[in-house]
Amino acid sequence: MNKNLVGVDIGGTTIKIGLFKNEGEVIDKWEIPTDKTSKGDQIPIDIWKSIEQKMIDYDLDISTIAGIGVGAPGFIDAKKGVILIGVNIGWNDFELGKKLSDLSSLPVYMDNDANVAAIGENWRGSGDLVDNLIVVTLGTGVGGGIIANGKIVSGSNGTAGEIGHITVEKEGGAPCNCGRSGCLETVTSATGIARQALEAVNEGKDTKLAERYKMKNKLTAKDVFDLANEGDLVSQEIVNHVTDVLGYSIASVATVINPSKIIIGGGVSKAGENLLRPLRRAFEQYALPRIIEGSEFEVATLGNDAGIYGGAYLVKQNIG
């Protein structure tokens, strides 16, 4: 079936949508605002109206579209197409799949946004459609997606792959958005890295981070990696701690999955080899030798488009 595919990536501020040919060539990609009023009731209507307009623009009949694949934030029952909890939008038990399918008369396939991004990265990004893959996204938080034996791992109630919420600091850890403390996200996200940098400055440590903070009145993960690369010892300590904790956590997950690829994405991944070099060292310190032999690290290549590619591949995977 060589029909076109639609991929949708729902975020808290914008909704990204892509129209693709069956093999992944982009026909068009665009964004619309996320209308969170009335607990997000308008969102499926906005999505379909926008897709419908693009179909008109490209003179595409509904019969040329195989279906719509959606990545959405929160806890999701992928089989039923229901957002169980979507805090960023205000959804609870929201039947997004049914609503969008009723509007479009097309099949709709859904999963958690991090899982869908992992699928996209594996299809058209760094993954090369490997059967066993770990994707870790280091941004404001830490997202994760796991593919095992060619299938995304969702778990019994849609919570599998939440790598960012592995507990890495049992005592004295920073509070996490999930309501607990000491999660991986609190240490290795861009937010967590910036927090550690600010703590170092406030503790009066001898570091160029203090000058950077005085100049900008804020610190970012990029500041830490840049100054570490320039030889700032405190910044190097933070990078070493972050990559040690992350490498340990990935090694633990890899023991279960035995991936052939581990893909690092998100804003922090822009540090490139300054991140990957110490991360590989840490991973190799903690992982089993055969797991090390069978896996390689890559930086994600699709960036913010991973979700729409993943949504499109959800359709392709299900329609055949």
pLDDT of residue 158: 78
How far apart, in whole angstroms, are the C-alpha atoms of residue 8 and residue 10? 6
pLDDT of residue 75: 84
Interval 193-205 mean pLDDT: 98
Residues paired with residue 17 on neighbouring β-strands, in sequence order: 8, 30
Q: Name the phi and psi angles at 25, rounded to 5.
A: -70, 130
pLDDT of residue 73: 86
pLDDT of residue 45: 98
| pLDDT at residue 1 tops 70 | no
Domain of residue 115 covers 4-123+304-319
Q: How many CB atoms lie within 10 A of CB 179?
A: 8
* 104 lies in the same domain as 176: no
- Compute CA 16 distance to the chain's CA centroid, rounded to the nearest angstrom: 14
Q: How confident is the model at residue 216 (pLDDT cuts 50, 70, 90)?
A: very high
Q: How many CB atoms lie within 10 A of CB 49?
A: 12
Domain count, the chain: 2
pLDDT of residue 85: 85
Note if the pTM is more than 0.85.
yes
Closest of 164, 170, 234, 227 to residue 199, by C-alpha: 234
Looking at the chain, the whole-number percentage of residues with pLDDT higher than 70 is 99
Q: What is the Rg, in whole angstroms, of the alpha carbon atoms belonging to the chain? A: 20
Interval 145-169 mean pLDDT: 91
How far apart, in whole angstroms, are the C-alpha atoms of residue 91 and residue 80? 15
Provide CB contacts within 8 A for 111, sequence distance 6+: 70, 71, 76, 78, 119, 152, 154, 314
Per-state percent for the chain, helix, strand, coil, to nearest 5: 45, 25, 30
* 296 lies in the same domain as 311: no
Q: How confident is the model at residue 309 (pLDDT cuts 50, 70, 90)?
A: very high
Residue 3 and residue 65 in contact, taking contact as beta carbons nearer than 8 Å: yes
Strands of 151-152's sheet in order across: 151-152, 142-148, 133-138, 261-265, 296-299
How far apart, in whole angstroms, are the C-alpha atoms of residue 130 and residue 147? 9
* 35 lies in the same domain as 83: yes
Structure tokens that stand for 39 in this block: 């607990």
Structure tokens that stand for 137 in this block: 């996204």
* 41 lies in the same domain as 186: no
* 222 lies in the same domain as 152: yes
* 114 lies in the same domain as 153: no
pLDDT of residue 74: 83
Say which CATH number the domain at 154 has.
Answer: 3.30.420.40
How far apart, in whole angstroms, are the C-alpha atoms of residue 41 and residue 99? 10
Interval 168-189 mean pLDDT: 94
pLDDT of residue 105: 97
pLDDT of residue 290: 98
| pLDDT at residue 62 tops 90 | yes
How far apart, in whole angstroms, are the C-alpha atoms of residue 266 and residue 259? 20
Interval 275-303 mean pLDDT: 97
* 167 lies in the same domain as 264: yes
* 110 lies in the same domain as 136: no
* 108 lies in the same domain as 138: no
Residue with tokens 């009066």: 204
* 165 lies in the same domain as 76: no
| pLDDT at residue 23 tops 90 | yes
Interval 189-198 mean pLDDT: 97
pLDDT of residue 106: 98
Least confident of 30-39, 86-95, 231-240: 86-95
| pLDDT at residue 54 tops 90 | yes
pLDDT in tens, 71-116: 998 888 888 999 998 877 889 999 999 999 999 999 999 998 889 9
Mean pLDDT of the chain: 95
Structure tokens that stand for 231 in this block: 């030889």
Interval 162-184 mean pLDDT: 94
How far apart, in whole angstroms, are the C-alpha atoms of residue 23 and residue 4? 9
* 249 lies in the same domain as 313: no
Q: HSE of 246 in the Cβ direction (CA atoms, 13 Å)? A: 35
* 213 lies in the same domain as 269: yes
| pLDDT at residue 320 tops 80 | no
Interval 175-204 mean pLDDT: 96
